[in-house]
């Protein structure tokens, strides 16, 4: 004997109780629900964030929250009864911090991406005191964080004694709602339920074309997406779609996840001067200042410690043997992931220097035309490595040539400093808010040329480059769901490889 519930109100069932369905419809829903639940449960194993709090002395009293659902920033009231009169009570919200898992060995990134994980973090919402009847009432504001179900615990004298539940819904906004081509359209969302393998993994569409996927793994469920206004003068439609399986699922309202808030916005492209991106040289990343190590012993560092390809830097050595010949070389990978030959580590000589009487040296260098990412720099005397440091080759935009021409013009997009790891050897290419594919830079030492053909209507068109994930290290053994691999990640600030470039091309009459 079992009861059939309305699958389109999944989150409300847990909060407000069951709703029965009549007759044959109930039987059909039962079958679909069973299959859907089996699939959802199987796919969620291993990654879902769950509370680890227990009740060592059992549960005391009764608590309720009203309303039981809302958005980040909403207010709700928690009430309780049946507690000891005058008891000092702490109201605790269970939150989670997300991270991308990068495989590390000896303090260095091996290049392997291992997925994502979550760590529980308890947030005190309020403190209150039970009255003479053992009751309390306190109002709180829903804190910024991931969406979905959250436990709210009552703690007395350091021990958890009861709890209630609150459901955080995603809340979307878009601004502005009009402007000429190239205007930055900012879509902001709070309360993405990313610990859930399906509910919190969305994509942006523009005029029914897939633009890219959204993540909020390290930003606590909050994401900001900035895309250019493109297309003809008139109305255009910016959509939000669940895309946990790699592509938007378009019938979401008839699924177990029909409760998701996935709005569509309207943007009106107006007449006026276009908003063009900055020259690519100005979009290249700023250099990262180098810092002298503080540990005792031989010291080696690079200043700046990272920057675009060809950035001038200085290599500094201190507290080395006096008047010694020091060989400098940096680590590099060579090869490819898509051939049977594979890839291997190698070292690239930089220079040979001689320390002064104090064991110091300063040598000019430049960020090399090499694979992007972190490189280990070693200082060797004879056969012994006496000091090491790291510098970062950042993704570098070179050119889009030509920048204008008639329909059919052959265009070349040129990038350097693309990496070799599973998180920085790849970038997604979006033309006029439509994802068209990706490119990699491992086998070409970070130097990537992407040919394009101007196939668009006369006027301005925009090409955006976003980071992506190549694959999971254990991709053949794990369920890659949510599937965000080889997609354009629009929330580039949340990605381990924070790159974004925008180019403009003008199609002449």
Domain match, 13 and 79 both: no
Which pLDDT score, from 0 to 100, does residue 486 have? Answer: 94
At residue 421, does pLDDT exceed 70?
Answer: yes
49 pLDDT tier (thresholds 50, 70, 90): low
At residue 240, does pLDDT exceed 50?
Answer: yes
Residue 2 lies in a domain: no
Which pLDDT score, from 0 to 100, does residue 56 have? Answer: 82
Which pLDDT score, from 0 to 100, does residue 28 have? Answer: 45
Residue 216 lies in a domain: yes
Residue 96: give its domain's CATH number.
2.60.40
At residue 417, does pLDDT exceed 60?
Answer: yes
At residue 45, does pLDDT exceed 70?
Answer: no
* Bigger pLDDT: 492 vs 474: 492
The mean pLDDT value for 208-233 works out to 97
* Bigger pLDDT: 5 vs 455: 455
What's the pLDDT tens digit per position in 85-118?
A: 999 999 999 999 999 999 999 989 999 999 999 9
338 pLDDT tier (thresholds 50, 70, 90): confident
At residue 40, does pLDDT exceed 80?
Answer: no
| Residue 491 · residue 225 · CB < 8 Å | yes
Which of 364, 393, 422 is at the close of a domain? Answer: 393
Domain match, 416 and 274 both: yes
Which pLDDT score, from 0 to 100, does residue 3 have? Answer: 30
At residue 295, does pLDDT exceed 70?
Answer: yes
| Residue 178 · residue 224 · CB < 8 Å | no
User: How much is the mean pLDDT over the chain?
Assistant: 89
- The edge-to-edge listing of strands for the beta sheet with 136-141 is 62-66, 75-81, 136-141
Residue 292 lies in a domain: no
Neighbouring residues of 471: CB distance < 8 A, sequence distance ≥ 6: 113, 422, 480, 485, 486
How far, in Å, CA of 364 to CA of 360, rounded?
A: 14
Which pLDDT score, from 0 to 100, does residue 481 have? Answer: 78
* Bigger pLDDT: 469 vs 50: 469
Report how far Cα 203 is from the mean position of its chain's Cα atoms.
13
At residue 286, does pLDDT exceed 80?
Answer: yes
Domain match, 14 and 94 both: no
Residue 400: give its domain's CATH number.
2.60.40.1930
Structure-token pair, residue 167: 């459901």
Domain match, 349 and 386 both: yes
416 pLDDT tier (thresholds 50, 70, 90): very high
Which pLDDT score, from 0 to 100, does residue 474 have? Answer: 84
Which pLDDT score, from 0 to 100, does residue 58 have? Answer: 87
In Å, how far are 57, 194, 195, 218, 319 from 146, measured between CA atoms?
Answer: 30, 7, 8, 10, 48
Domain match, 255 and 184 both: yes
Residue 78 lies in a domain: yes
Domain match, 485 and 502 both: yes
Domain that holds residue 306: 299-393
* Nearest alpha carbon to residue 145 among 199, 178, 192: 192
Domain match, 78 and 144 both: yes
Residue 289 lies in a domain: no
55 pLDDT tier (thresholds 50, 70, 90): confident
At residue 205, does pLDDT exceed 60?
Answer: yes
The mean pLDDT value for 382-393 works out to 95
50 pLDDT tier (thresholds 50, 70, 90): low
Which pLDDT score, from 0 to 100, does residue 33 have? Answer: 44
Report how far Cα 351 is from the mean position of its chain's Cα atoms.
38
Which of 168, 188, 221 is at the close of a domain? Answer: 168
Return the minimum-mean-pLDDT range out of 47-51, 215-219, 288-292, 368-372: 47-51
Which pLDDT score, from 0 to 100, does residue 395 have? Answer: 95
Unique residue bearing structure tokens 């490889």? 497
User: How much is the pTM?
Assistant: 0.87
Which pLDDT score, from 0 to 100, does residue 180 have? Answer: 98
Domain match, 263 and 409 both: yes
Return the minimum-mean-pLDDT range out of 45-54, 154-163, 243-252, 283-292: 45-54
Domain match, 351 and 315 both: yes
Domain match, 24 and 68 both: no
* Nearest alpha carbon to residue 187 among 465, 500, 490: 490
Residue 308 lies in a domain: yes
Structure-token pair, residue 68: 């039981």
Which pLDDT score, from 0 to 100, does residue 460 have? Answer: 98
Domain match, 163 and 84 both: yes
Residue 50 lies in a domain: no
Terminal-residue alpha carbon distance, the chain: 71
Residue 357 lies in a domain: yes
Neighbouring residues of 482: CB distance < 8 A, sequence distance ≥ 6: 197, 198, 201, 243, 244, 245
433 pLDDT tier (thresholds 50, 70, 90): very high
The mean pLDDT value for 221-235 works out to 98
294 pLDDT tier (thresholds 50, 70, 90): very high
Which pLDDT score, from 0 to 100, does residue 44 have? Answer: 36
Which pLDDT score, from 0 to 100, does residue 25 have? Answer: 46
Which of 358, 393, 428 is at the close of a domain? Answer: 393
The total of structural domains in the chain comes to 4
* Bigger pLDDT: 8 vs 406: 406
Domain match, 408 and 484 both: yes
The mean pLDDT value for 287-303 works out to 94
How far, in Å, CA of 448 to CA of 453, rounded?
A: 17
48 pLDDT tier (thresholds 50, 70, 90): low
Return the minimum-mean-pLDDT range out of 77-86, 155-164, 304-313, 471-480: 471-480
């Amino acid at each position: 004997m079992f009861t059939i519930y309305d699958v389109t109100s999944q989150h409300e069932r847990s909060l407000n109780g069951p709703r029965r369905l009549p007759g044959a419809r109930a039987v059909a829903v039962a079958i679909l629900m069973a299959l859907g639940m089996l699939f959802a449960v199987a796919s969620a194993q291993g990654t879902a964030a769950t509370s680890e709090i227990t009740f060592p002395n059992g549960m005391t009293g009764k608590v309720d929250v009203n309303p039981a659902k809302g958005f980040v920033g909403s207010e709700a009231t928690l009430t309780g009864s049946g507690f000891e009169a005058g008891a000092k009570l702490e109201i605790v919200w269970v939150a989670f911090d997300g991270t991308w898992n990068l495989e590390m060995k000896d303090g260095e990134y091996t290049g392997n991406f291992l997925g994502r994980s979550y760590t529980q973090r308890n947030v005190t919402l309020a403190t209150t005191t039970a009255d003479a009847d053992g009751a309390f009432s306190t109002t709180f504001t829903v804190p910024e964080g991931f969406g979905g179900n959250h436990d709210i615990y009552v703690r007395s004298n350091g021990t958890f004694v009861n709890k209630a539940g609150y459901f955080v819904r995603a809340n979307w906004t878009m601004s502005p709602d009009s402007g000429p081509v190239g205007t930055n359209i900012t879509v902001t969302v709070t309360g993405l339920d990313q610990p859930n393998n399906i509910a919190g993994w969305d994509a942006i569409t523009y005029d029914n074309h897939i633009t890219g996927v959204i993540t909020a793994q390290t930003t606590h469920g909050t994401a900001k997406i900035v895309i250019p206004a493109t297309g003809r003068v008139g109305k255009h439609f910016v959509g939000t779609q669940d895309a946990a399986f790699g592509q938007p699922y378009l019938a979401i309202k008839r699924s177990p996840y029909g409760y998701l808030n996935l709005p569509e916005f309207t943007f009106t492209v107006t007449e006026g001067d276009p908003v063009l991106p900055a020259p690519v040289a100005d979009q290249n990343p700023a250099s990262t200042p180098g810092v002298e190590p503080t540990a005792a012993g031989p010291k080696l560092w690079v200043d700046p410690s990272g920057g675009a390809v060809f950035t001038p830097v200085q290599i500094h050595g201190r507290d080395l043997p006096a008047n010694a010949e020091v060989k400098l070389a940096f680590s590099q990978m060579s090869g490819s992931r898509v051939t049977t030959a594979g890839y291997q580590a190698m070292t690239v000589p930089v220079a040979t220097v001689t320390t002064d009487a104090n064991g110091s040296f300063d040598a000019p260098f430049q960020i090399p035309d090499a694979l992007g990412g972190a490189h280990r720099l070693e200082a060797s005397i004879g056969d012994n490595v006496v000091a090491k440091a790291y510098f970062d080759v950042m993704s570098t935009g070179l050119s889009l040539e030509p920048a204008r021409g008639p329909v059919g013009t052959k265009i070349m997009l040129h990038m350097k400093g693309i990496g070799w790891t599973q998180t920085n050897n790849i970038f997604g290419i979006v033309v006029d808010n439509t994802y068209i594919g990706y490119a990699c830079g491992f086998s070409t030492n970070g130097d990537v040329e992407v040919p394009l053909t101007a196939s668009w209507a006369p006027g301005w068109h925009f090409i955006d480059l976003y980071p992506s994930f190549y694959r999971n290290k254990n991709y053949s053994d794990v369920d890659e769901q949510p599937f965000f691999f080889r997609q354009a990640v629009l929330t580039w600030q949340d990605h381990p490889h924070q790159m974004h470039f925008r180019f403009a091309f003008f199609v002449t009459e």
